[in-house]
Chains A and B, each alone.
Chain A
Amino acid sequence: MTEPRDTKPAAADDRAPADKPVPEDRPAGRSRVAKPGRGSVVGESVGPGWLGRTTLGLRVSRIRLTRTGLRIVVGPRVPWWGRLESRVITALVALGILCVGASAYLVTLTVQYFDSIVVAAARKSDDAVAAARPLYDGFVRASKQAYRARAAAQARELELAIARVPVPKDRPGELAARVSAQLTAALQREQDIVELRLEGLPGGPVLAERRALLPEDPLQWFWFTAGPEPLDQAPGAVPGGLQLTATFAQSTEMDRRYQALGASKRELDYVAVNGTVVDRSELEGAVFRAIGAASALVLMVAFIAGFLLARATTRKLTVLSEVILRVAGGDLRARVPDLGQDELGQLGAAFNGMLDELDSAQRKVSYLQRVGAWQEMARRIAHEIKNPLTPIQLAVQQLREKDPGTSPAFTRMLLTSVEIVEDEIESLRRMVTSFSRFAKVPEVQLAPVEIARVVSEFDRAYGHLTERETDVLEVLPVPPGLTILADRQLLKQCLVNLVENAVLSQRERGPVHVRVSVRPVPPEPGVDPDLPPTALELRVDDNGPGIEPERRERVFEPYETNRKEGTGLGLAIVKKVVLDHGGEVRVDDSELGGAGVVIRLPLHAPEPAA
């Protein structure tokens, strides 16, 4: 039975040997102790103070005492920049800056690279527009020359028509009609002529037109007027007298395309971003700023995540380190708190398990040392008492035999005294016998044995509890196959001691009921239930008065008993034997109403055959 740790605050002190190494350069007895609320103070020496009980002989100057409230903790004196947490965070941040910086630099290079491509493309577009300009000029010039040539051709045709059939001068109306017919015919032949106008005739200008069919419209046509072209070769013409003017309809398509080319050239340097028109250089700057801001955000997130991650990891290491230092300082009660399920959590749990084992082993050693001391004392006492008992008894017998019988009163007094002395001698002899038996508990001789055999032999040898029919010894069937390494005789002796204890504690109160049972220990929670058991429990329950919880650890101490005639050695012998078997013994409540003594022994797993 494990005693609650808070019920023995000085256990660690008790366990720590007094002769542990003390730093030579630290005079014993000088110790600077932190006062509450004073912050941290450096432990200066290892006198009788707490740190002086270190079992590893640590240089206490490397240990810092910090009083937090009323609790003293020990931590390494490491500057903040030397801590693992700081280093991990710094490494993470440096890595983050490196990665984000490299990414940002690459993105910047990419943007600049593509921008240079766009600039080159824009330059080529400019060149294309520049190349288009003379083409457009040439087109306009050629078109105008063509229109003028066509107007001249119309004039020549008109001259020819007038010259082919001369018209008398006294009939100008006939000439005008002929000219009008010629102009109308020309208008019908040439689909893009809007108007042909001949001026200089006596009756006024002659006109052929179709303005309504080819209206001037920015989306379709614009008019170009060629002329006036003189008709100097006409018969009877006065130089400069007749003039032909031709108006042509030119499609605006080419002009519109040319204007669109100009608009495209202007807009090459602009883009629409998110509904906003922006020039390319500003856009490039905005991209850089956006990437910078995004990088900063990523870096900040990485920093926070790294900080939290590093802190979560390094805090566990810090806790582990603190606990290890406390243990190194002699505080074997220190335990690692639950650190989770990761490797560090498992390390903490394993460390706690190791400390538990160490604690248990230390308590066992301490107990066995105490029992050994008691055994030695019992042996000496038995020796010193046993030797004079026989002479005393012989002397008393001689006194009784040498009574002259002269005085009945004297004889009566003598007999009474001799009887008393002999009773006390017998009492002392019994006590000496107990002492001797306790002092001579043999060393265990371990051998594989089935617990069923031990219990069976005990049952056969013990038979019944008492001569009373109402007293019951109940031995439950033992599960087969439970083999332990044990000393069969000593284990049976333990059962006898426990059963006798139970009988003695209940006999005067009423019927005695003692139950002996064995069961394999079920696996602990979290352990695979299919694994075979590793230990068994041998229980001896009774219906006696039971043992108070506060006495349950103490009853195993030698000479600890409540009975007048008891020696308090039976349970001590049981515990010593059980500890020699590598087991544990504790006192529980019993289903029968009294106490239940539980012996836990490890099962023996035979070595596989080679």
Chain B
Amino acid sequence: MRRRGFFGLVAALPLLTAAGGLELLRARRARFEEVGDSVLMTVALPELLLTRDVDAMASLESAFRTRLEYEVALYRAGQSEPIELRRVTVLIQWDPWKERYVVETKEPDRTATRRYFVGRDEAIAAAVTLDRVRVARASALERGPKAVYFTTVVGQRNPIEKGLLSPEEGDGDGRGQGRDLSVFSRWVGIFIRATQVAEKTVAVKSTPAFYLVPR
């Protein structure tokens, strides 16, 4: 039986993030709870799987599995290095046999949970919402209003897994034309700019920030 200890929520505080790139993240209202030794967060990223996204809906209704990857990073205000970095994977799929939507959530250090929905929208709402996911151990964080924390969440829909792609050409024996192709591939790789490797990527920053109330 988990004990809900403290619900720490602090009004908006200016975030002194050192990483300028973080300022480009969308602000997203999040809810933090302290339960036992865990700090749990609830936040929704509905942009990740919009019901008006025709292709995404067609894929979903075709019984293809849709994979949502969330990368949750916990920062202390004023610092650029994350304190905790966690990955949450959510799978949503229409089961044509049992005619229901299945939403499966996998978190590190936690048993995978599976929820079933008859309605598509309910299933999507459950999939795009990180419901009380653990972002850090409370004992690892400093308490008090001087230690302000926030999180960033980067969500990706159907990220491309490198291992599933076809092997690159030119990785053969390293001789002759194969070697030339390998050199050319490396040369082209120099000119590849940062690109999204998912059908959709959404990045948000939690607001307001929070701190743990001293005990």
Using a CB–CB distance below 8 Å, which chain A residues touch chain B? 133, 136-137, 140, 143-144, 222, 224, 250, 258-259, 262-263, 265-267, 270-279, 282-283, 285-287, 289-290, 293-294
Contacts and interface: CB of A to CB of B under 8 A. Distances in A.
B160 to A, nearest CB: 5
Q: A224, A267, A277, A283: which has the most chain B beta carbons within 10 Å?
A: A277
B199 interface: yes
Interface stretch (B38-46, B58-66, B70-78): B58-66
Interface in B130-163: 158, 160, 162
A283 B192 contact: yes
Given A267-B164, A267-B165, A282-B195, A274 B189 contact: yes
A224 B99 CA distance: 11
Interface of B: 59, 62-65, 96-98, 158, 160, 162, 164-168, 184-193, 195-197, 199
A224 B188 contact: no
Given A137-B96, A278-B197, A290 B63 contact: no
Given A250-B97, A278-B192, A289-B191, 12 more contacts: A224-B98, A267-B160, A270-B160, A274-B188, A275-B162, A276-B189, A279-B197, A286-B192, A286-B193, A290-B191, A293-B191, A294-B187
B190 A277 contact: no
Contacts of B196: 279
Contact of B63 (A250, A258, A272, A283): A258
A150 to B, nearest CB: 15
Contacts of B96: 136-137, 140
Contact of A282 (B62, B97, B192, B199): B192
Given A270-B165, A271-B165, A286 B188 contact: yes
Contacts of B192: 273-274, 276, 278, 282-283, 286
Contacts of A133: 62
B48 to A, nearest CB: 15
Nearest to B185: A274
6 interchain residue pairs of minimum CB distance: A274-B189, A262-B64, A289-B191, A277-B197, A286-B191, A286-B192
Nearest to A258: B63
A136 B62 CA distance: 9
Nearest to A260: B164
A278 B162 contact: no
A277 B166 contact: no
A279 B195 contact: yes
A277 B63 contact: no
A599 to B, nearest CB: 71
Nearest to A289: B191
A270 B164 CA distance: 10
A288 to B, nearest CB: 8
B63 A136 contact: yes
A262 B197 CA distance: 16
Contacts of A267: 160, 164-165
A26 B92 CA distance: 101
A277 B164 CA distance: 11
Given A136-B63, A272-B168, A273-B189, A266 B158 contact: yes
A130 B9 CA distance: 48
Contacts of A294: 187
Given A250-B97, A273-B168, A290 B190 contact: yes
Contacts of B164: 263, 267
